[in-house]
Structure 1
Amino acid sequence: MPEPAVEISTGEAGTAPPTDYRLIVPFDWFRIPLEPGEWKRSIRALVDNALRGQDDAAALKRQLTKELAARAEDAYRNGGVELYISTTSVGPIPVSASLLVTVVPPDEDFGLSVTGAQRAQEIDEILLPFAGPAIRRRTRTVPADDDSSGNRLPVTTVDYGVKIPMTTASLLLTFSTSLDPFAEALVELFEAIAKSLSWT
């Protein structure tokens, strides 16, 4: 699996309390900003790049664009500020992985709890070297037979909730992959990205 290679900053350095954050993500993870008016252009570029050279893929392009747009809109409504999609492949197999960065409003809980018989979870407290204490939750969800998304593969999700210093707001990093055979390796990559989080 690729090591994080690109430093992403969402703005200029600020004064305390921090006004921004930085993350180091793999160079082949595509960033989709979730501000209104921004994500449509980014999704179009991502889909065009992913299906470049496939002249008969018009229907697939429309479907993929629709799915990503729905995901972006839903994420934005829930406080999402950035969505990263892996464009990595191992041979002919695309590496299905993503990261959603969400700002949790002041005094609201991370929501890092799990219910449901089809999920397995691990929750613990860790220290992010540059960002401070965090709550980490790892979840493996086995889709139901009638899952409306059509997904039939187990999905591994790792959330990192961290308080923004000198505020009552929080930042939530949500990583996910449906590539079950590579889940352990991807979880290690997710951890490396989360540990690169720093405040500016």
Structure 2
Amino acid sequence: MSAPDLEQQPPAAEGAAPRGYQLVLPPGWVRIPLRSGTKEALEKILFSQMGQVPEGIPRDDAMRFRLDMRRQIEKQARAARRNGGLDLYLPVRPRGGTFLMASFIVAEMPIGQDRAAPPEAVLAQLADDDGPDRSATTVELVGAPAIRRSYRSTPDAEELRSAPAAVQQAALPAYRVEYVIPVAEDVGRWISINFSTPGDGNLDSEFTGALVELFDAIVGTFKWSYE
């Protein structure tokens, strides 16, 4: 369902379902396909995108840093693919000497099994099922209704106590935003765009808020591709 470039698309036949989608990414962000071409994309990122390393890392350790980053991205990609992921997006270039801790995943959703149910009914059900710690609102994307949900996630204290020290150190509270979008002209098919960031460690900070606003701006460029 992904289209990595932003070239002008030919007009779609009336009533035709899209073959993919497009997003405009900020500088330094990359797309990693999860269904095919994952290995090739990681190789390209490792050698052509990650030319810089964060401040404080000695030059002799640059390659080790890149390989560590690749292993982390591979782990994230495998988890995303198991959950229906189509594409993983994340920043791979440092800003101000540090890497942004943020990413989002575009995935197919196992909802809308009743193909006769109109998208509005499914969206209303999703909004009604929203938990007390979540905030769901109806938005418009590509001329159709969609759902935007935001919430905060914190690691389970009991599970963390028995986890390795490295996992405990890496487990941070995160601010999450999810968009749920019906596929145009394809009743019963849905995709989600799921964003997660620990921000700067303070989920209420201006920095964390700026990352959420950046994600919302990226989603605002979403459009279907028909080529």
Q: Structure 1 length as normaliser, TM-score? A: 0.77
Match of 1:43 in 2: 42
| Equivalence for 1:21 | 21
Change (3 A) 1:123 1:88: farther
The residue number in structure 1 matching 2:218 is 193
Deviation at 1:114, TM superposition (A): 6.6
Secondary structure, counterpart of 2:60 in structure 1: coil
Q: Which amino acid aligns with 2:87?
A: E
Give the equivalent residue in structure 1 for 2:178.
159
After TM superposition, the structure 1 stretch with the greater mean CA deviation from structure 2, 69-78 or 102-111, is: 102-111
Contact 1:102 1:172 (C-alpha < 8 Å) held by counterparts: yes
* 1:162 partner SS: strand
Which residue of structure 1 aligns with residue 135 of structure 2? 122
Structure 2 counterpart of 1:172: 192
1:61–1:71: structure 2 CA closer, same or farther, 3 Å change rule?
A: same
| 8 Å contact kept, 1:131–1:197 | no
Q: Higher helix fraction: Structure 1 or Structure 2?
A: 2
Structure 2-normalised TM-score? 0.69
Aligned position for 2:208: 183
Q: What is the alpha-carbon distance in structure 2 between the residues aligned to residue 198 and residue 157 of structure 1?
A: 22
CA offset at residue 60 of structure 1? 4.0
Q: Given that residues 11 and 20 in structure 1 are in contact (C-alpha distance below 8 angstroms), is that contact kept between their aligned partners in structure 2?
A: no
Structure 1 residue 164 displacement after superposition? 0.7
The residue that corresponds to 1:140 in the other structure is 152
Question: Whose strand fraction is larger, Structure 1's or Structure 2's?
Answer: 1
* Structure 1 residues 18 and 51: alpha-carbon distance in aligned structure 2, compared to 1, 3 A threshold: closer
**Runs of 5+ consecutive residues of structure 2 not aligned to the other structure:** 54-58, 114-121
CA 1:137/1:10 → structure 2, altered by over 3 Å: closer, same or farther? farther
Provide closer, same or farther for how the CA distance between residues 51 and 89 of structure 1 changes in structure 2, counting only shifts above 3 A: closer
Which structure 2 residues correspond to residues 49-128 of structure 1 after superposition, within 5 A? 49-50=49-50, 54-57=59-62, 59-105=64-110, 107-108=112-113, 120-128=133-141
Q: Percent identity?
A: 28
- What do the CA deviations read for 1:149-198 (whole angstroms, capped 9, x no partner)? 33243211111001012221011111121224421111111111112111
| 1:68 match: secondary structure | helix
| Counterpart secondary structure, 1:102 | strand
* Cα offset, 1:61, TM superposition: 4.0
Work out whether residues 28 and 88 of structure 1, in 8 Å CA contact, stay in contact via their aligned partners in 2. yes
Inter-partner Cα distance in structure 1 for 2:109 and 2:62: 38
Across the aligned residues of Structure 1 and Structure 2, the Cα RMSD in angstroms comes to 3.1
